[in-house]
Amino acid sequence: MNTIALITGATSGIGLATARTFARNGVHLVLCGRRKERLDALAAELGALVQVHTLSFDVRDAAEVATQIASLPQDFRAIDILVNNAGNAHGLAPIHEGELSDWDAMIDINVKGLLYVSKAVIPQMVERKRGHIINIGSLAGQEVYPNGNVYCASKFAVDALTKGMRIDLHQYNIKVTSINPGLVETEFSIVRFKGDTERAKNVYRGMTPLTAEDVAEVIWFAASRPAHVNIAELLLLPTAQASSTIVKREG
């Protein structure tokens, strides 16, 4: 096989768009997420273009992450590109009103889950002295906004881990990139507001947010640079957004 990418959170939004973009560019895929029926449908769709293997697991379960990735067939074991994308916000509340279960979810998924997957994938990159880790951070990992507290902390942690990985891994010829988007309309806000689609829609009211495809194109740009070029970090905003709190809205 040629290039193989493992993408977490491939069942929706940025991860799904990245899977489609990579497949169009001939990258073979290991697609991960909890919703198995969506993984199966995506494998059927993209299997016409490239070889696809799916793994259904919750990134919070360290043992399951290790077992699933260790179960990869020989043909899919030499992962060249790891896209650590699985993640979400849970809730948007002042620090004294936040729910412990939301805090646990964000730290366990966005930070510890990213670490568990990385731990299962990186050693073979080190052994082969090649690889590219692309962590999906956020504008929320560059600046804190009102009520964003724990989500922002989780994305600041992703930023620190990206920098730490680059320091530890560049000597093994491994690239480490963070792609940090601002507002992207996906299932993100629906998850954050626990299924309240009206509240979720309001996040993008009167402005044009990024699409998952916009972000996927940038991820592909980073993944397709020549061997000596590493896009270390990239902030990607909708034109209508200047910062987490400064957004131009019409109407």
Nearer to ligand 8X3 (CB atom), residue 30 or residue 247? 247
| 136 in contact with ligand NDP (CB under 6 A) | yes
Nearer to ligand 8X3 (CB atom), residue 125 or residue 152? 152
Sorted by sequence, the CB contacts under 8 Å of residue 92 that are 6+ apart come out as: 147, 148, 151, 192, 193
| 86 in contact with ligand 8X3 (CB under 6 A) | no
> Using alpha carbons only, what angle is made at residue 187 by residues 57 and 217, rounded to the nearest 5 degrees?
90
Residue 151 · residue 205 · CB < 8 Å: no
58-77 residues in contact with ligand NDP (CB under 6 A) are 58-60
17-56 residues in contact with ligand NDP (CB under 6 A) are 33-35
User: Which of ligand NDP, ligand 8X3, none interacts with 34 (beta carbon under 5 to 8 A by kind)?
Assistant: ligand NDP
Nearer to ligand NDP (CB atom), residue 1 or residue 232? 232
Nearer to ligand 8X3 (CB atom), residue 135 or residue 138? 138
**For ligand NDP, which stretch binds (CB under 6 A), given 160-168, 177-185, 217-225, 240-248?**
177-185
The sign of the torsion formed by the CA atoms of 122, 126, 127, 130 equals positive
Please give the residue whose beta carbon sits closest to ligand NDP in the complex. Answer: 13
User: And the tokens for 41?
Assistant: 């449908």
Amino acid at 18: T
| 140 in contact with ligand 8X3 (CB under 6 A) | yes
Closest of 214, 219, 235 to residue 81, by C-alpha: 219
- Edge to edge, the sheet with strand 4-7 lists 52-56, 28-33, 4-7, 81-84, 131-136, 174-181, 233-236
CA 140 – CA 241 distance, rounded (Å): 13
- Residues that bind ligand NDP in the complex, under the rule CB under 6 A: 8-15, 33-35, 58-60, 85-88, 109, 136, 138, 181, 183-184, 186-188, 191, 212
- Residues that bind ligand 8X3 in the complex, under the rule CB under 6 A: 138-140, 148, 182-183, 244
